[in-house]
Amino acid sequence: DVQLQASGGGWVQAGGSLRLSCAASGFTVSDYTIAWFRQAPGKEREGVSVLRNRESGTINANSVKGRFTVSGDNAKNMVYLQMNSLRPEDTAVYFCAAAKGRKITSTLWTITTYDYWGQGTQVTVSS
């Protein structure tokens, strides 16, 4: 049974940091492309960061470049999102998602690319 469990969200003041965790079960993260998406109230879900395990690389959305870092721990079957210099506009529910194998760059921000989704964790940044 494939599952993704996101955790680590919370409340933080602007300029602060949080680290989100995504625990995977039922599959091996090293074989998958793992992404973090977020969805703010009244807005569409948007891609934030992607860990391309098969290509050994990462991609970040322009809105979080230089502030967010995605990483993985294959031994623990975990993926993390380190979020620094948080801004009020980062407030959203954050989701981790997994897609099997390699994916071309142009599809990484597309929701339908991903086969499995976690339940989401709330991040609130106050000004």
Matching residue, tokens 């989701």 = 95
Query: What is the average per-residue pLDDT within 15-26?
Result: 98
Q: What is the model's pLDDT at position 55?
A: 78
**H helices present in the chain, as ranges:** none
pLDDT digits (tens, 9 = 90+) for 40-55: 999 999 999 999 987 7
Chain mean pLDDT for the chain: 95
Tokens of 81: 């999102």
pLDDT digits (tens, 9 = 90+) for 66-105: 999 999 999 999 999 999 999 999 999 999 999 998 888 8
Provide the β-strand partners of residue 82: 19, 69
Spatial CA neighbour of 98 closest among 6, 15, 14, 17: 6
Contacts with 83 (C-beta within 8 Å, 6 or more apart), sequence order: 17, 18, 19, 20, 64, 67, 68, 90, 123
DSSP lists the bridge partners of residue 35 as 50, 97
Residue 9 has pLDDT above 90, yes or no: yes
